[in-house]
Each structure stands twice: as C-alpha cells, then as structure tokens.
Structure 1
C-alpha cells in the first residue's frame, strides 16, 4: 500500500483523519459506507509486521477471538482485515485520551486524586476480568491474557468511562516474538517477572502490570523504573519488593497501600488470583476513600485535556463534511455492484472469515429479481388478454342451452371480466397496492 491519506478506503471504511500514532500502528478516524455511516477507529499496523506471514495469521485469529469480548470497560473490536498487504483493525471510536496523557497533565496539578485513581483501576480491572473469563465455543476458558497493560492502553473518556485497548495486537505479537531468540513482546517497564523471563504467563501477569499502573496513579512514580531498560527489567525480576507507596505518599490509606503491594508481589502466587478479587478489594476500601463517580472523572478530564478533545472532534467533523461533499449522494447512494469483490475490495474481514454475522443483504442479482416478478406478471396478463380478444373475435356467438344442465358457450362479458381483473391486479401489484379481493395473475 502506498501513502495513506484522507479519503483512502479499506474495504467498507473510508479514512477521515489520523488521530494517533504508536510504535506498532497508526490510528485513523474513519466512517463506514452506507446510508447510516458510523464513525469508527481504524488501526493500521506497521508494514514490517504485516509482511510477516506468521504474524498475519496470528493477528487475524487473535482479533477474531477478541471480537467476542463485549464489556463496557473493553474497547469493542468491530472488524479486522488485510488489504494491499496491510493488516488493519476496526474498533469503536472512543472520545477520550490514553491514561499516560492524564498522568502527564495531572502531574502539574498535584497528581491524580485518590478517588479518581481508585475508579480508573477498578474499572480497568472489570474489563480485564471480562477478557480473562472469555470462553470458546466448547465452553472452556481460552486463557486470554492482555500482556501489555500500561497507561497507553487504558483509555479514559470525556464521559467518565474507562476502556482497555489492544488485546488482540498484544497477544498476537507476543505469540510471534516468543519464537524469536532475544525478543520479548511488551513494554519493558510494564512486564511481570515471569513475562520478562520468557516464562508461561496467566491472568496474574495482568494483575502485576495493573499494579504498576495503580502505583503510578497514587504516587506519580513508576515502582521499578531505573536509568535504562535493562536495569528496569533487572529491578522487576529480582526478589526485592517495590518501595511501599506510603513512603512516598504518607497520607495514602494503609489499606490502599496493601492492595498495591499485593498486586506487585514478585511471586505470582502471592498476588490477587483474579481481577475480580482486586476489584472487590478496592470496593472494600472505598468506604474510607470513596471512588469518584463517572461525572467527577468526566469533569477532571475536561479540566485536564478538554481543549485537546475539542480540537480532535472539530477535525473529525471537518473531515466528515469533506467526505460528504465528495460523495455523489449521501442520502441515496448509487447501487453497489452485485459482485462481493466489487463491494468490498480485496481483503479479508471477520465477516468473510465467518467470525462475525454479516448483515442481511440481498444475494447477487437480488435487485433484478425483485423487479422481474411483477414485470413478468404484467406481461403474462397482457398476453392472456390478447389471447382472449382473439377468441372473442373467432367465437360463433352464444348457443342455445341443450336442456337441463346443458353447456352454455361463454359470452364476451364472461371472458372479459376475469381477464380485466387479472390485468388490473397485476398492474396494482407493480405499484404494491393490490385491491382487496384481487390478486396478481399466477
């Protein structure tokens, strides 16, 4: 694929404006085709990742799996596909900012208030627990682990919502890079000891990394950050526990400090066994340190990053207007070609892979068949009428009855009436309003 610009289409998605750029992908706001366009987020993976056939296969499979997670604290995966050698993922567009920006902006204002920190971590735990509990078609847990829980992958909405991002990309990349010597997937500063040591991981890996995020929210510091990445990894993997957060923030409630330290336990057996346990622990301490409401979180987001959100919304609206002007007719788009390849340019999507139910749509040639039936009915009725007229002209006229029960030749009126009724009914069937008691000719 060449340079991607606004107006470029990937399958049924038209790119509008770039909204984020990361190490693995760029993210665009896009609109879907059709009479009721929806604004979505389309993530384009880097070319070097898309070129790897192993990564491509795992990415498509993992994204198919992740699309089955439906939870208010998880960003919904709508579609995934490949086109012109580029893999892309389609997600709901969330009007919000990544948590790392919230941390940066709040630092100058004395840090994130504790009730807000408790709410963010508690909501993130709910989303992660929903992913961990995902089951396959056989009813068994699939063992999904995020493996990349970090402030960049926790999105805070301007409406006060909290969403987890990037399940599929993180797990697929982990599977790929695990097979390559010397490579470990994930941000080095947000790994569990077992993950950094290339050991098998489970949901407690996500508990540890969410504990790192929790620590940052209440103290403003990373618990293991050192002068460089290798030193940071060594601090994560050694047996020395993190410095208790209350040594940095003496006003922090003791129960909150204990929750953080339990999530950050180096032996995984000493951590919370599930995200649900972590969430319950937060709810128990919220009596002394109540959680912020979604309205309070929304108000904080507006104070910290409101102008940034307004600029992005304005850019998307402007791009939408340009896209409308580029369309021939937004309200009544021209009929699409009946060929599936023409409707959706080359590329594989979840619908085509059978992972997501497609919308009901007429089969190829369906429009033609809908018009063929009434037109054929009218033609048949006209032919029958002409045949009847010919019979009338050639008829010798009425014959006298042959006694009781004898046959009587049909008169012109007895022939015309049913023919006219049939023709009238066929004509009204074309207009879709047959009169009561009338029906189209067979």
Structure 2
C-alpha cells in the first residue's frame, strides 16, 4: 500500500491570494489510482521561511482538523510541497461575499439571514468543540469579513481562513502575545485595546450583515462610545430604505453594541435569525439562500473570474509531497489582515481613518 509520501498534486490554477499565501486548484493523486480535486493553500516563496507565518499556517491546519461543521471548510492534511508548508483542503466552488457585494449589490434579506445564521452556528460549534485534551477549544476566528466567507451555487456557506484564529490546545505552536490580528473595519472596539473574546467575532459578523444588506462598507471602528453610537444609528437606521424588518435592525444593534458583554452569543444570534427567517416567508425578499444561489452564483462566478484573475508561481506544475502531518486550513481572503503590535497605534490609525 502506498504511503502518504507518494501523493502528488497537479496544480491547475490559482484561485485565491492573500498577503501570506496562494490558494491553488489542484488534483490530488494517491495510491491505487485514487484521485480527487482539492484546494491547496501554499505559503508564498518570500514568506515560506518566516517562522511566525509558517507557525500560524501549521496551527491553522491543526485547529481545523478538530472542527466538524458544514459551514467550516474541511481539511485533509498539512504537508510540504516545493519546499514550503501547505494545507490540503476541500475545494469550494463559489463566490466570496466581498465579490458578491461588489458585483451583485445588496443581497435580499432572506439569503442574508440564512448566511449569517450558518456562520453563527459554525462559530458556536468551533468555540465549544473539544480539543485533543478533552477541553473546549474556545476558538476565536478573529478575522470574520466578507472575503473570508464563500457561498456556493448550491447555497452552501463556508467560513474560510482561520490563519489568525486563537484556540486553547497544547499542540499549537504560535504564542498568544500582545500582537493583535484582524482587518480594519471589522475589529470590535475592545480589540483595539487588546481584548479578544467570542463577542469580537459576533461584532464582526454584525458588520458583515450590514454590508451584505447595503453593498456598502460599514466604515472604520470608532474609538469612543459616543462616536460608535452615531455610527450604528446611521448604518443600521438606514436599513429601512432596503426593506429590512425592524426586528432585524434590533438584533443588529445588539451585535454591534459597544460593550462586549451586551452582545448576544453566536448561538443566540443563530436562534434569533432562525425565528426571524420564519416570519419572512419563502418568496420575494424572503427566498432561501439555496434558491437565490442557484440562480445568481454561477453567473457571478463567471463575471468575477474574468475580471479578477489570480496568478501563482506553481500553476502548471505537479508537486510531490515532501512531508505529511496532521491538520488543515482554509483559503486566504483578498483583503489585507492587519498585524497590530501597538493597540494605541491602532486607535490613532482608526481616528485618522474616520471620514469627516
């Protein structure tokens, strides 16, 4: 029987790119004629020897190896190819929410509630799943944003890129330090001063929800409760023009609360969205995500592929697996993830970014 070292990866295209790595569409060839289509997330050549980045990729793989939820990308392994660390994962044929907002415009209320409900459920499961030591992983994604969420033509929703996630398990390599990771505009207020919690992911999910309903950027995180209250009133209050029910607005205000303790849990968000969803019906703006996606995603995918081609140095090559390990991750989003070494500097940055 052939061992893992006999596996080969036939790279056919580059399908995603971020600051640290490139995601390729590939065909995995194993022993006994086994073959399947996969996605391969590979560190860029200039990042491959950076210890911090390689460590986080390996941790991402190990983390996702423990998570089982339909909305979390499935990982098949952590390997080395072409002298670089790479993660083998399921190939998700779909469109990310960032591209949908840019190309399609505001999404109907029903599909948005379905998408956010699925992600809420995935965050809840990821936080409470038991790790190898038998205790909850307490996983925090820390980079929830439209570019890190995909929708397929079958209406499946997938959370991607756990590259800056935090979790409690002994096998992790990266140290939890004062360095803060995240993307501008999706950081909860407390994260600017160095506090991480599950409530931070709920805040980011609230921002994503507003952006899907409006196809507009929410804006930078405000640094005072007074400024933030004005921002929420403007962004959420304006949803009435998009036909969003008042009950949805009320939930959004809670998700975007200044105080982390005032926000609902991801599980509560999931339950409340399910209840709101029932009241919408299943036609017009209330149609299910599956019906909307079957109609819209294929055409959107073709338009986006033609407009935003991705390149990578490994396209056209067949790579032998050099080393196999346990774990696995998800595609990198195309908005930059910030590394905030000084929370005060981040606060100053956000002040300067505020529109006048």
Query: Which residue, out of 103, 110, 120, partners 2:101?
Result: 103
Partner of 2:18: 22
Out of 273, 280, 304, which is 1:289 matched to? 280
Q: Match of 2:185?
A: 189
Distance in structure 2 (CA, Å) of the matches to 1:38 and 1:237: 51
Q: Distance in 1 between matches of 2:6 and 2:183?
A: 29
State whether structure 2 residue 237 is matched by structure 1 residue 222.
Answer: no
Given candidates 8, 23, 30, the residue that maps to 1:12 is: 8
Structure 1's 132 and 49: CA in aligned 2 closer, same or farther, altered over 3 A? farther
Matches within 5 A, 1:36-185: 36-107=34-105, 111-167=106-162, 169-171=163-165, 179=177, 184-185=180-181
Distance 1:102 1:124, change over 3 A: same
Structure 1 pair 77/252, CA: closer, same or farther in 2 (3 Å)?
Answer: same
- Which of 289, 304, 323 lines up with 1:347 in the alignment? 323
Once the two structures are superposed, residues 101-133 of structure 1 have per-residue CA deviations (whole angstroms, 9 ceiling, x without a partner) of 1111222xxx21111111111111122222112
- Determine if contact 2:104/2:300 at 8 Å carries over to the other structure: no
Please say if 1:258 is aligned against 2:253: no
C-alpha spacing 1:254/1:210, structure 2 compared with 1 (3 Å): same
Query: What does residue 27 of structure 2 align with?
Result: 31
**Which structure 2 residue ranges, 5 or more long, are not aligned?**
168-172, 308-314, 329-356
How many Å apart are 1:194 and its aligned residue? Answer: 2.0
Task: Give 1:204's aligned residue.
Answer: 199
Give CA-to-partner distance per residue, 1:345-397, whole Å, 9 cap, x none: 533422xxxx69xxxxxxxxxxxxxxxxxxxxxxxxxxxxxxxxxxxxxxxxx
CA distance in 2, matches of 1:295, 1:143: 30
**Per-residue Cα deviation, 1:275-334 (whole angstroms, up to 9, x for no partner):** 11001111122233245324313234346515348989xxxxxxx9x99xx9xxxxxxxx
Instruction: Tell me the secondary structure at the aligned position of residue 196 of structure 1.
Output: helix
Instruction: Provide structure 1 residue ranges, at least 5 long, that are not aligned to the other structure.
Output: 1-8, 226-231, 313-319, 327-342, 357-442
Structure 2 counterpart of 1:243: 232
CA contact (8 A) 2:77 2:324 kept: no
Kindly indicate whether structure 1 or structure 2 has the higher relative contact order, using CA contacts under 8 Å at least 6 residues apart.
2
Q: Tell whether the 8 Å contact from 1:95 to 1:157 is kept in structure 2 after alignment.
A: yes
Q: Find the residue that maps to 2:85 and give its secondary structure.
A: strand
- Rate the CA distance shift 1:50–1:177 in 2: closer, same or farther, 3 A: farther
Q: In structure 2, what is the equivalent of residue 405 of structure 1?
A: none
Partner residue in 2 for 1:434: none
Residues 153, 166 of structure 1: 8 Å contact kept: yes
Q: Which has the higher helix share?
A: 1
Number of equivalenced pairs: 303
Q: Secondary structure at the match of 2:110?
A: helix
Normalised TM-score (structure 2): 0.75
Structure with the higher strand share, 1 or 2: 2
Question: How far did residue 81 of structure 1 move?
Answer: 2.3
